Structure 1
Amino acid sequence: MANWHQPFRPPAVDTAGGGISAPDLRKPVGVAELRAAASAIGTTLDEGTTCLELTRAAVAQAGGAAAVLPAGRAVGSGYEAVSGNPCLLPEAGQAGVVVCGSGEPAEGGAVSWSPGGGRTALSVPLVTGSHSYGTLVCARAEAPFTRAEADHMAFLAERAASHIRHAREHDAVSSIVGKLQRALLAEPGRPHPNLDVAIRYLPVGQSSLVGGDWCETVRLHFGRTLLVVGDVMGHGLEAAVDMTAYRSSLRYIASADLPPHRVLRQLDEMASGEPDRRPATCLLARLDPNRGQVTLASAGHLPPVVIDGEGRASLLPVPVGPPLGTGLGGYEPATYRLAPGQTLMLFTDGLVEHRGEDIDQSLDRLTGVGFGTASGVEQVLDTVVARLDVQQAEDDVAVLAARIRDRRTQD
């Protein structure tokens, strides 16, 4: 068994390299070939894909077979990402014993050994910094691996380990943000039973629940309910955290049962006192079923839509104040009649906006949707999502529909 523990110093990497061709084992691998091999590793943020790209590159460089022995597994638990002829690989248990018994390798260290049957094997740690992700195991029936080949495999393994680290960090952050967003969306509050309410949240793309859009309902006194739609600037963890802060503050302020414009004023003052808080737009609608009216106030947000009993939609004009977090205030209310057969719909701009299109055109497209005469609030949202092709939206979408229940139909 030959042990190589001399520190490995990789050459500069040109990530614009081309494809990988089968190696000529009679001559050493050139720098251009090594660059090409390295550029094919880490093309995605998927750990399994990165491991497979590594083993394919190893086989292309040295022939035979290659696989990854994951870290933290029981000895002999099996290989992953196998490339080449798997019959050439030593048993995973045998490779695990060699890896465990080789001691802590130096940076870029590799172990050359003979698994029997006329084969030679090479074990290279998948290490970057202080992080270890397993071992690259290469095997072939030709001549033993040279020191130059071991250095090349160590370079490729280090590159793969770096991408694996990035993939795991990305997955960890995405998991945190997804759990945060799901927890928030799972509890939008409970309206009074005199309202029918439906909510949809559709994140842009299909990868994760990340963003600053939110919907909320807050019970008030005398059978009234405060409906809320907001949109924090940006995406990602920071936007989700700020959205949480806005939502928590709004619940606290709304508990005092202030008019909507005064709720916005206090929320703006609170947010402007935190310099790191991102600005947000917000629309409040206080629905009073007993009086059959809705009072609206807007902080830089698009107006709501009211849908009549015939399924026709129209905008409700609202005085627009500055976004929350600016400290400028200046919010004003607007009150309208709302009959039991009418549906009020609040939404974020992702529902209607298209890049390069005037916002008036976008809103005209929304009001042109025919909603039918017998649709409930769930069907209203199904219709608008389908007719506006929200699955292809360019931004996150949050939309809320509410309708006063007809007392004659209540239990």
Structure 2
Amino acid sequence: MRSRLGWLNAAGTQIGTTLDLERTAQELAEFTVPRFADAAAVDLLESVLLGEEGDRVVGAGVPVTRAMAVDAVDALRELEPSPVGEIVDREHRRETLLTTKCLRARESVLVSRMTEEDMERVAPTDSAAAAMRRQGVHSYLAVPLIARGVLLGSADFVRAGDTPPFTGTDLALAEQLASKAAVYIDNARLYGREREHVVSLQRSLLPRATPHTPGLRVAADYAPAVDARGVGGDWYDVVSLPSGRTALVVGDVMGHGLPAAATMGRLRSVARTLMTLDIAPDRVLARLDLATRDLEDDQVATCLCAVYDPADGSYTLASAGHPPPLLVGPDGRTDFLDVPPGAPLGTGVIPYDPLRLESVPDSRLLLYTDGLIKSRTEDVDRQLEQLRAAVAGMPAERLDGGGLLTPDTPGGDGRFDEAVLLVALGCGQSGDVDLRIWELPEGGTAASTARRLVTQQLETWQLGELADVTELVVSELVGNALRYGGGPGQLRLLRDERLMVEVSDTGPDLPQIQHVDVQDEGGRGLQLINMLCRRWGSCRTASGKVVWAEQDIPRA
């Protein structure tokens, strides 16, 4: 009796060592063989494997189960249990199977001495029944796995050969073991459901699609943590900016779980809004720091922001305590960029210093979160070198495609909590993207010069039907720059999927549509632009601001 109690007590250390359903079920089967039974099988409800509640109703039919674990002594290796991972087939003997009775009534089933008829009632198929006869199986025991009033599955045990048959004492011992193991299985179910909820929330807050990025090819990947407590804080974003510019943002909230995921979503939304108002990444991070300090949960986050300009293929980068980006040249050479490391968001230590990078065509910029370089056993510098080596040896098509985070990526063996990897390939102005930039003269000839330039360029692009509207738009933009911005600077005309015209100036104030009375002679320029264009906007730059307007290009 004492040895049986000691064996039952040992179950607490050998079953449920992880919060993985499959592993816990296998540990239950292995724990009972050969000390308690010659062979064991564990089946779990399909609803449990899907993270659902299980089954609380008695006598409501037989729930669908899936074989999760099998173990047997060497002499019984030829038995034919349901294959692990497959739905248990009960269709041929659904009403007569003893496991059906166990699941339907939520009661244990004991057959001390099996007859020929009992063989048919235990085995799901004729072939399995014949295998049991050949192996000399003579005793059967099935117990339901019930935890917190919820049916999770069942465990079957058999004895064969010279092993004594099951007794009532064995039945009581199996029920105690099943009760304890069911709690471990339910804990794994609840844990898996929590992880799935956090991962689902995390993925829903990440970009669903990458926007059109002129002169830039972007690929991104996100890998959630195996541990639910490690999920929730990493994010990335790709934001289209005026005149073909693109903002790349990668961040990491210093926390885990649902609170970190919620904070991540809020910071990403704020960052997107700020990027549409200011294309200087250092100022965006400064304002994002203020927004982070206003959050009620006192979160801290790292962030790296890069703005790509297809006009000259340059990046402007700023970092808020984030790991350094990695630049991969067309020849495969890799270098970490020395971006000034500002303080993390939410700490209140600003401003941030930008780094301007003139990139080489066909070079790749890698932004990532610390999940790729975090380790409890190795130094960060060593992890960075491992990342550099892995990227240097990675095929170019792998960097430009999806599925970037795989087991051979540094940290991809499950050591990291979660990770984001974003790769941007600067490919210059492709055939379907055209960008023209002109310096406008000072004084009253700026508007006429701008009209002439855009008209000539539209004729070259065979878009003469857009000339009238574009002339009006550029006249209003240049006029506003002369009147309120200290004179126009550059005129940009971008043609890709749409036509965008942009005028820069040094004025600090962003224009807004004004209410105009009938007797007013002016003030209707932005109203006209708003009616004639698909959309328009303005944002700050390092030297002032740009005002832009976008039109649809008629399809042939």
Give the aligned residue type for 1:399: L
Query: Does residue 1:95 correspond to 2:117, yes or no?
Result: no
Residue correspondences, number = 374
Which one of 146, 150, 160 corresponds to residue 131 of structure 1? 150
What is the correspondence of 1:122-201 to structure 2 with a 5 Å cutoff? 124-136=143-155, 145-146=167-168, 148-184=169-205, 187=208, 189-201=210-222
Give the aligned partner of residue 335 of structure 1: 356
Measured after TM superposition, the shift of residue 251 of structure 1 is: 1.5
Which one of 22, 25, 33 corresponds to residue 7 of structure 2? 33
Measured after TM superposition, the shift of residue 342 of structure 1 is: 4.5
Q: For residues 205 and 325 of structure 2, what CA distance do their matches in structure 1 show?
A: 23
Q: For residues 36 and 406 of structure 2, what CA distance do their matches in structure 1 show?
A: 54
Contact 1:349–1:397 (CA under 8 A) maintained in structure 2: yes
Measured after TM superposition, the shift of residue 151 of structure 1 is: 3.1
Which one of 44, 47, 51 corresponds to residue 21 of structure 2? 47
Give the aligned partner of residue 342 of structure 2: 321
Contact 2:250–2:304 (CA under 8 A) maintained in structure 1: yes
Measured after TM superposition, the shift of residue 202 of structure 1 is: 4.8
Bigger relative contact order, structure 1 or 2 (CA pairs below 8 A, ≥6 apart)? 1
Structure 1 runs not aligned, ≥5 long: 1-26
Give the aligned residue type for 2:7: E
Higher mean C-alpha deviation, range 187-196 or range 334-343:
334-343
Which one of 277, 283, 300 corresponds to residue 304 of structure 2? 283
Give the aligned residue type for 1:130: G
Measured after TM superposition, the shift of residue 299 of structure 1 is: 0.8
What is the correspondence of 1:103-118 to structure 2 with a 5 Å cutoff? 117=115
Contact 1:380–1:401 (CA under 8 A) maintained in structure 2: no
Give the aligned partner of residue 524 of structure 2: none
Measured after TM superposition, the shift of residue 101 of structure 1 is: 8.0
Give the aligned residue type for 1:132: L
Higher mean C-alpha deviation, range 176-185 or range 266-275:
176-185
Q: For residues 267 and 240 of structure 1, what CA distance do their matches in structure 2 show?
A: 17
Which one of 376, 394, 398 corresponds to residue 420 of structure 2? 398
Q: For residues 246 and 114 of structure 1, what CA distance do their matches in structure 2 show?
A: 64
Scaled by the length of structure 2, the TM-score of the pair is 0.54
Give the aligned partner of residue 225 of structure 1: 246
Contact 1:280–1:323 (CA under 8 A) maintained in structure 2: yes
Which one of 280, 293, 302 corresponds to residue 314 of structure 2? 293
SS at match of 1:317: coil
Quickly say closer, same or farther: Cα 1:348–1:83, change in 2 above 3 A.
closer
Contact 1:352–1:388 (CA under 8 A) maintained in structure 2: no
CA RMSD of aligned residues (A): 4.7
Give the aligned residue type for 1:406: G
Contact 2:228–2:257 (CA under 8 A) maintained in structure 1: no
Give the aligned partner of residue 367 of structure 2: 346
Quickly say closer, same or farther: Cα 1:316–1:61, change in 2 above 3 A.
closer
Contact 1:177–1:209 (CA under 8 A) maintained in structure 2: no
Contact 1:178–1:208 (CA under 8 A) maintained in structure 2: no
Give the aligned residue type for 2:6: A
Measured after TM superposition, the shift of residue 37 of structure 1 is: 4.8
Give the aligned partner of residue 467 of structure 2: none
Measured after TM superposition, the shift of residue 68 of structure 1 is: 5.2
Give the aligned partner of residue 212 of structure 1: 233
Measured after TM superposition, the shift of residue 366 of structure 1 is: 6.5
Q: For residues 279 and 124 of structure 1, what CA distance do their matches in structure 2 show?
A: 50
Query: Does residue 1:357 correspond to 2:379, yes or no?
Result: yes
Contact 2:387–2:410 (CA under 8 A) maintained in structure 1: no
Quickly say closer, same or farther: Cα 1:375–1:66, change in 2 above 3 A.
closer
Give the aligned residue type for 1:145: T
Q: For residues 36 and 186 of structure 2, what CA distance do their matches in structure 1 show?
A: 25
Q: For residues 66 and 244 of structure 1, what CA distance do their matches in structure 2 show?
A: 47
1:214-261 deviation per Cα after TM superposition (whole angstroms, max 9, x unaligned): 332101112211111212224555444433332222122222235212
Contact 2:221–2:403 (CA under 8 A) maintained in structure 1: no
Measured after TM superposition, the shift of residue 300 of structure 1 is: 1.0
Contact 1:188–1:217 (CA under 8 A) maintained in structure 2: no
Quickly say closer, same or farther: Cα 1:191–1:58, change in 2 above 3 A.
same
Higher mean C-alpha deviation, range 262-271 or range 175-184:
175-184
Contact 2:313–2:428 (CA under 8 A) maintained in structure 1: no
Higher mean C-alpha deviation, range 122-131 or range 363-372:
363-372
Structure 2 runs not aligned, ≥5 long: 46-54, 81-92, 119-137, 434-556
Measured after TM superposition, the shift of residue 358 of structure 1 is: 5.9
Quickly say closer, same or farther: Cα 1:69–1:378, change in 2 above 3 A.
closer
Contact 1:242–1:277 (CA under 8 A) maintained in structure 2: no
Contact 1:265–1:330 (CA under 8 A) maintained in structure 2: yes
Contact 2:213–2:240 (CA under 8 A) maintained in structure 1: yes
